[in-house]
Chain A
Amino acid sequence: MMTDIQIKAVSKRFAIDRSEILALDDVSLTFPAGSFSALIGPSGCGKSTLLRMIADVIAPSTGSILIGDHPPGKARRSHEIGFVFQSASLLPWRSVIDNVRLPGELSNKQGSRSPEALVDLVGLNGFEEAKPAQLSGGMQQRVAIARALALDPKVLLMDEPFGALDEITRQRMNVELLRIWKETNTTAVLVTHTISEAVFMADTVHVLSAHPGRLAASIAIDLPRPRHLALLQSHAFNALENQVRAALFAKEIASGR
């Protein structure tokens, strides 16, 4: 019942002022069913572009994407995609619970968890009737996660969901997100620009290089789950961080800068 995501030789060109920019160049990847993957890379490496192509927000120039057996468009229309944006993007006139109810109102599907249960899952019980403006950034992002999970999505796509949060809140949210992901059996893809976040969360960290965006390395993270914050201080964790860092800065390291 779990779904994998296959990226097959995907390239993406953007036209900017009559010149063309190659944002992604021939990227092939598989996100196994039920896994947690991280995409990391410098800005301009096309990691957000790739995520938005999986979500059928933009179309690849060449190549194809499959979510299970279906192209992204079909998956999107059957409400199989949960997406968490960098900004929480809550509807400001709706209360917390009504924001979580939104995906259900847009389809005739019903998730296995009620909106109330989802608000509870992300740790916001007591705030059902609060308006987004009354919540902190971290709490708003919790609502966005609950909303993304409303219809039991087969894939959960997150575009730097905690990028706007402070370091302390972000690490706490990371732990929470792992707990939530474990309870929902979705295939999760996290776009991030923080090395420790990528290593802490993922089964595999895919490193992209920029201009043009190419897959530079895929690093398996064989740390045991469940993962706790204490892990951040372990040698194994640091070694994996260094491995990701080496892949990210391969050019600079080679040229001695």
Chain B
Amino acid sequence: MTGPIDHPDASLIPTRGQVVRQRLDAATRAVVFFVVALAIIVGLWQAAIVSFDIKPFVVPTPVSVLVALNQDWPKLGAALGYTLRGTLLGLLMSTCLALVFATLFTLSDGVARAVMPLLIAIRTAPVLAIAPLLILIFGRGQAISIAVVVIVSFFPILVNATRGFRSTDANALELMHVCGATWLQTFFKVRLPFALPAIFTGLRAAATSGLLSAMLAEWLSGAPGLGTLILEAASFRKLPLMWAGVVLAMTVAFAIFALTVRMERSVVK
């Protein structure tokens, strides 16, 4: 017997190019679906206003929102930039913190049991109630946005990452042991890659609430971000501007979510 018999045909395995093309096709289809769905929603919105004679001080027309978006773009853009910076820095920081804590929890059950109740306490304290304290600590600038984003988004990442690190394939761990691997080698070559899908599940959950948390922080601190802009537009009855802010916030939150999905795809193979 010379060659192995139990071989499928190597040429059946898709090449890198074929895989990329498949993915691109899927991406194009997703964009088309999204644009069509958006067009339908905007159309229904406009039709409802016209047919039910809804007054512009209740709901503005899509056109007026678009006009506000165009006219007030410098203001909106600056506010968005401010909020986005806080959101992304907050998410980055909470991801790093959560991974460090999850690693510690994997190393020692004792640490997990001692620290977890404290973290749950911080997470469940209503942000509104601890706002004065937070403002005292972090001031009224970008720092408090980052702090609130971290408080809200830290927990889902931590829980998922811990679960990911602990659910490593037992055989793979035994293999690394027999191969004489160090703890660090096992962590980076086996535990972390096995945990990546779980970590990204947490990150996706955190990403969607990240922008909202940053805006919440601005409502407390009055910092010049998108949250404050929306609040002020509402109190001055500038409904088109307010809705322009809301649409912008939704779009950006979606973009952040899509970004985490893209990152997951490129990292988890």
> Do B171 and A103 touch across chains, with their CB atoms under 8 A apart?
no
| CB-CB contacts below 8 Å: B182-233 with A | 182, 185, 189-190, 193
Listed stretches B5-13, B91-99, B139-147; interface member:
B5-13
Complex Cα spacing A175 to B181, Å: 31
Does A105 touch B at the CB level, under 8 Å?
yes
Contact A172:B193 (CB < 8 A) given known A83-B175, A103-B179: no
Interface string of B3-44 (1 = CB under 8 A from A): 111111010010000000000000000000000000000000
A170 to B182, CA, bound (A): 34
**Which residues from B are CB-within-8-Å of A176?**
1, 4
Q: Are A91 and B179 in contact (CB under 8 A)?
A: no
Chain A residues numbered 211-250 whose CB sits less than 8 Å from any CB in chain B: 229
Give the residue name and chain of the B residue nearest to A142 (CB): B4
Nearest neighbor of A165 in chain B, beta-carbon distance:
B6
Nearest-CB residue, chain B, relative to A157? B178
Complex Cα spacing A93 to B268, Å: 8
Contact (A172, B178) CB under 8 Å given A89-B169, A89-B171, A134-B13: no
CB of B104, distance to nearest CB on chain A (Å): 24
Known A-B contacts A93-B193, A126-B10, A169-B6; the reply to A79 vs B179 at CB < 8 A is: yes
User: What are 27 sample pairs from A and B whose C-beta atoms fall under 8 A apart?
Assistant: A57-B174, A79-B180, A81-B178, A85-B171, A85-B175, A87-B171, A89-B174, A91-B172, A91-B189, A91-B190, A91-B193, A102-B189, A105-B185, A105-B189, A106-B176, A106-B180, A107-B180, A122-B4, A123-B4, A130-B10, A136-B8, A138-B6, A139-B4, A169-B6, A172-B1, A172-B5, A176-B4
Provide the residues of chain A in CB contact with B3, threshold 8 Å.
Answer: 123
Q: Which of A93-128 contact B (CB under 8 A)?
A: 93, 102-103, 105-107, 122-124, 126-127
CB distance from B87 to the nearest CB of A (A): 30
Is the Cβ of B4 less than 8 Å from the Cβ of A76? Answer: no
Interface positions of A from 62 to 103, Cβ below 8 Å from B: 76-79, 81, 83, 85, 87, 89, 91, 93, 102-103
Interface pair A76/B175, CB less than 8 Å apart: no
Q: Which residue of B lies closest to A95 (CB)?
A: B269
B109 to chain A, nearest CB (A): 19
Q: Which residues of A contact B189 (CB under 8 A)?
A: 91, 102, 105-106
Q: A181 to B175: give the CA distance in the assembly, Å.
A: 20
At the interface, yes or no: A55 with Cβ under 8 Å from chain B?
Answer: yes
- Give the A-B pair count, Cβ closer than 8 A: 76
Across the interface, which residues of A come within 8 angstroms of B7, CB to CB? 127, 136, 139
Q: B13 contacts A89, CB within 8 Å?
A: no
Taking CB as reference atom, which chain A residue is nearest B269?
A93
Q: Is B237 located at the chain interface by the 8 A CB criterion?
A: no
Min distance, Cβ A151 to any Cβ of chain B, angstroms: 8
State the interface size on chain A (CB cutoff 8 A): 35
Main SS of chain A's interface residues?
Answer: loop
Cα of A122 to Cα of B1 in the assembled complex, Å: 13
Complex Cα spacing A102 to B4, Å: 24
- Beyond A85-B175, A103-B179, A106-B189, list 13 extra A-B contacts (CB 8 Å): A55-B178, A57-B174, A57-B178, A76-B178, A79-B180, A85-B171, A89-B169, A91-B189, A105-B185, A123-B4, A126-B10, A136-B6, A139-B4
Distance between A65 CB and nearest chain B CB, rounded to angstroms:
14
In the complex, chain B residues whose CB is within 8 Å of the CB of A77: 180
A-B CB proximity, top 4 nearest: A89-B171, A138-B6, A123-B4, A83-B178
Q: Does B177 contact A (CB under 8 A)?
A: yes
Chain A residue nearest to B9 in the complex (CB)? A126
Given A89-B175, A106-B180, the answer on whether A127 and B1 have CB atoms closer than 8 Å is no
Residues on the B chain within 8 Å of A78, using CB:
180
The A-contacting residues of B in range 160-177, CB under 8 angstroms, are: 169, 171-172, 174-177
A132-168: CB near B (< 8 Å → 1, else 0) gives 0010101100100000000000000000000000000
